[in-house]
C-alpha cells in the first residue's frame, strides 16, 4: 500500500521546564552530551522497556516508535522528552533489515489513540544485533519519509555489543543526521539510587548479571517497625527460644563428636566420590600431557624449521579470529545483497525515464519537421493567392496554366485542401502526444515505508 505524505506546517514547540531544572526529577547523563547536541531526556522505565525488547530476539532486527513531547525551555532552546514507547507488531525483519508494514502502522495508530493527546510520536527505535550503532541507507529512508521533523530523533540499540546511541537532525546538507555525544535518563527523585545504578549498567560499569533489565520485577525492602514497649511475656518467650536453640546445638555437637557409623549407602556414596576424584585426576593428567606435547611440538618446530616460539598458540588464536571474521563477513554479504538490489531498482527506474525522454525528443523533432513543411506550403499558397488576385502581374504563369489546362482557382482549391489535411494531421499528432504524456505522468510510482540495514 502506498503511503503519501503532504506538506505539514510545523508548529512552534511549547515552552516547558527542562527535567534537569525541575526538582521533581532525578537526571543522569549517559556517555558525554555536548552543548551542540539536542538535549534528549529519556524516561528510565521507557528506556528499560526498549532495552528489554532488544534482548528478546538477537537473531533479527526489532523496532518501534517513541512517544513524548518536543519543547523549548525559557531561553528558547529546544529539547525532546521521551516518556513511553510502542513496540512494532506485524513487522518484517531479518538479521540485517527491519520493515514497517501497513499493518504495523495500523496497530501503532490504534495503540497511540489509547494514550493522552500530549504524548506524540517523537521518533523511532530499532536494533542492530552485532552490527554496531549507525543509520543505514534504508534507515535514512524511514527518517526522511516518516520522522523528518526538525526535533524528531532515532534510537539504535546493539544488544550483542551492549551499545546504544541517539541520532538527531542537524539542518546541514553535508551531514543531515548525526549521532549525539550522549543523552539523559530521567526518573522520579525518589528513585535516584536506582537511576544511578541503571545508568552505570548502560555505560558498562557493572556486571550485566545485576542489570535491571534482567530482573522480573523490583520489590522494595521490607519495613520493620521496632517499638520499645514490649510486654513482659515476650522477653520470657525469647529466652525460652534461645534456650531451646542452645540445647539443639549441644545435641548436634555431641552427634558430631561421636565416632561415625558408616551405613551401606554412605559407603556407596564415598566409593562414588572416590571414583569421581580419580576420574578428575586422570582428566587433569591428560590435559597436562596434551599441554606438554604441544610445548614439545612447538620446540621441535622452532628447532627444525626456524619457527618462532609460541607458534601453535598463535595459530589457534588466529584460527579463532578467522572464524569470527567469517561470521562477520556473512552479515556483510547479506547487507551488500540488500544494497545491490536497491541499486538494480534505481538503474531500472533511470533506464525507464531515459527511454521516455528519448521518445519525447523524437516526437518534438517530428513535430518541428511537420511545422517547417507547413510553413513552406503556406508561403506557396500565399504566392498563388497573390497571383490569383493580380493575374496581369504574372502573365507567364497564366500562359503556362492555360497550356496545361488548369485554372488558377483550381490550384487554389487544391492548395486549400492540402492545407486542411496538414492542419488535421498536426492536430491529431499533438492530441495523441498529449494523451501519451498524460498517461505516462499518471502512472503511479510505487513507494513504501520499508527499510533495510
The neighbour count for residue 185, using CB atoms within 10 Å, is 25
Decide if 125 contacts 64 (C-beta within 8 A): yes
User: What is the C-alpha separation between 188 and 23, in angstroms, rounded?
Assistant: 9
Question: pLDDT band at 193, cuts 50/70/90?
Answer: very high
The pLDDT of residue 184: 97
Q: DSSP alpha helices (H): ranges in 84-155?
A: 102-112, 137-146
CATH topology for 14-214 is Cytidine Deaminase; domain 2 (3.40.140)
SS3 category, 60: coil
The pLDDT of residue 225: 45
User: What is the C-alpha separation between 27 and 187, in angstroms, rounded?
Assistant: 7
How confident is the model over 2-24, as pLDDT tens digits?
555 445 456 788 999 999 999 99
The pLDDT of residue 262: 54
Q: What is the pLDDT averaged over residues 184-209?
A: 86
The pLDDT of residue 203: 87
Q: What is the pLDDT averaged over residues 136-149?
A: 91
How confident is the model over 229-248, as pLDDT tens digits?
556 666 777 877 788 878 88
Question: Which residues is 179 bridged to in the sheet?
Answer: 167
> What are the phi and psi torsion angles at 26 (to 5°)?
-105, 135
The pLDDT of residue 453: 43
User: What is the C-alpha separation between 51 and 67, in angstroms, rounded?
Assistant: 15
> What are the phi and psi torsion angles at 155 (to 5°)?
-115, 130
pTM (two decimals) = 0.47
Higher pLDDT, 365 or 119: 119
Q: Own/partner pairs for 245-253, CB < 8 Å, 24+ apart? A: none
Q: Take residue 317 and report the three cell numbers written for it.
A: 588464536
SS3 category, 132: coil
Residue among 49, 27, 329, 337 at smallest CA distance from 189: 27
The pLDDT of residue 302: 63
Q: DSSP alpha helices (H): ranges in 258-310?
A: 264-305
Question: pLDDT band at 168, cuts 50/70/90?
Answer: very high
The pLDDT of residue 69: 96
C-alpha 140, offset from chain centre: 8
Higher pLDDT, 106 or 266: 106
Q: What is the pLDDT averaged over residues 27-47?
A: 96
Residue among 157, 88, 92, 89 at smallest CA distance from 121: 88
Relative to beta strand 163-169, strand 153-158 is antiparallel
Mean pLDDT of the chain, nearest integer: 79
Q: Lowest-pLDDT range, 1-5, 56-60, 358-362? A: 1-5
Decide if 37 contacts 179 (C-beta within 8 A): no
Question: pLDDT band at 263, cuts 50/70/90?
Answer: low
Given a cut of 50, whether residue 97 has pLDDT beyond it is yes
What is the DSSP secondary structure assignment for residue 329, as one 8-state letter? H
The pLDDT of residue 223: 43
User: What is the C-alpha separation between 170 and 151, in angstroms, rounded?
Assistant: 9
Q: What is the pLDDT averaged over residues 361-366?
A: 84
Given a cut of 50, whether residue 335 has pLDDT beyond it is yes
Decide if 53 contacts 88 (C-beta within 8 A): no
H or E element: which one contains 121? strand 120-127
Decide if 183 contacts 168 (C-beta within 8 A): no
How confident is the model over 265-320, as pLDDT tens digits?
767 777 777 787 787 777 777 777 777 777 667 666 666 555 565 666 677 677 77
For 85, left (φ over 0), alpha (ψ -120 to 50), or beta?
Answer: beta
Given a cut of 50, whether residue 444 has pLDDT beyond it is no
Neighbour order of strands in the sheet with 450-452:
92-94, 97-99, 450-452
User: What is the C-alpha separation between 167 and 142, in angstroms, rounded?
Assistant: 13
Question: pLDDT band at 452, cuts 50/70/90?
Answer: very low
User: What is the C-alpha separation between 177 and 160, in angstroms, rounded?
Assistant: 24
Q: What is the pLDDT averaged over residues 319-336?
A: 76
Q: Take residue 201 and report the three cell numbers written for it.
A: 549498567
Amino acid at each position: 500500500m502506498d503511503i503519501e505524505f503532504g506538506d505539514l506546517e510545523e508548529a512552534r514547540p511549547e515552552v516547558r521546564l527542562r527535567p534537569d531544572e525541575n526538582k521533581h526529577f532525578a537526571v543522569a547523563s549517559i556517555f558525554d552530551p555536548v552543548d551542540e547536541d539536542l538535549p534528549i531526556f529519556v524516561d528510565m522505565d521507557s528506556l528499560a522497556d526498549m532495552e528489554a525488547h532488544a534482548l528478546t530476539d538477537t537473531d533479527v532486527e526489532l523496532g518501534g516508535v517513541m512517544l513524548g513531547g518536543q519543547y523549548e525551555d525559557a531561553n528558547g532552546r529546544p529539547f525532546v522528552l521521551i516518556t513511553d514507547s510502542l513496540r512494532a507488531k506485524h513487522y518484517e525483519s531479518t538479521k540485517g533489515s527491519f520493515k514497517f508494514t501497513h499493518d504495523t502502522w495500523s496497530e501503532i495508530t490504534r495503540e497511540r489513540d489509547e494514550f493522552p493527546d500530549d504524548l506524540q510520536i517523537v521518533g523511532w527505535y530499532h536494533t542492530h544485533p552485532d552490527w554496531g550503532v549507525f543509520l543505514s541507507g534504508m534507515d535514512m529512508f524511514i527518517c526522511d519519509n516518516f520522522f523528518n521533523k526538525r526535533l524528531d530523533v532515532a534510537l539504535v540499540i546493539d544488544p550483542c555489543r551492549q551499545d546504544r546511541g541517539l541520532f538527531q537532525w542537524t539542518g546541514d546538507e553535508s551531514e543531515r543526521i548525526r549521532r549525539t555525544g550522549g543523552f539523559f535518563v530521567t526518573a522520579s527523585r525518589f528513585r535516584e539510587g536506582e537511576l544511578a545504578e541503571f545508568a552505570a549498567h548502560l555505560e558498562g560499569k557493572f556486571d550485566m548479571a545485576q542489570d535491571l533489565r534482567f530482573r522480573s520485577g523490583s520489590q522494595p525492602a521490607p519495613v520493620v517497625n521496632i517499638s520499645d514497649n514490649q510486654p513482659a511475656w515476650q522477653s520470657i518467650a525469647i529466652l525460652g527460644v534461645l534456650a531451646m536453640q542452645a540445647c539443639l546445638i549441644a545435641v548436634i555437637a555431641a552427634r558430631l563428636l561421636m565416632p561415625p557409623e558408616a551405613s551401606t549407602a554412605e559407603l556407596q556414596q564415598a566409593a562414588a566420590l572416590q571414583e569421581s576424584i580419580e576420574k578428575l585426576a586422570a582428566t587433569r593428567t591428560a590435559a597436562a600431557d596434551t599441554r606438554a606435547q604441544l610445548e614439545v611440538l612447538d620446540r621441535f618446530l622452532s628447532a627444525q624449521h626456524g619457527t618462532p616460539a609460541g607458534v601453535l598458540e598463535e595459530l589457534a588464536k588466529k584460527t579463532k579470529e578467522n572464524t569470527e571474521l567469517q561470521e562477520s563477513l556473512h552479515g556483510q554479504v547479506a547487507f551488500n545483497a540488500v544494497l545491490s538490489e536497491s541499486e538494480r531498482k534505481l538503474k531500472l527506474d533511470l533506464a525507464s525515464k531515459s527511454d521516455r525522454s528519448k521518445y519525447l525528443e523524437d516526437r518534438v523533432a517530428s513535430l518541428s519537421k511537420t511545422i517547417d513543411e507547413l510553413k513552406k506550403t503556406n508561403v506557396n499558397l500565399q504566392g498563388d493567392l497573390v497571383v490569383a488576385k493580380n493575374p496581369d502581374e504574372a502573365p507567364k504563369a497564366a500562359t503556362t496554366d492555360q497550356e496545361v489546362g488548369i485554372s488558377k482557382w483550381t490550384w487554389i482549391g487544391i492548395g486549400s485542401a492540402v492545407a486542411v489535411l496538414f492542419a488535421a494531421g498536426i492536430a491529431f499528432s499533438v492530441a495523441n502526444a498529449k494523451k501519451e504524456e498524460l498517461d505516462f505522468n499518471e502512472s503511479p510510482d510505487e513507494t513504501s515505508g520499508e527499510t533495510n540495514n
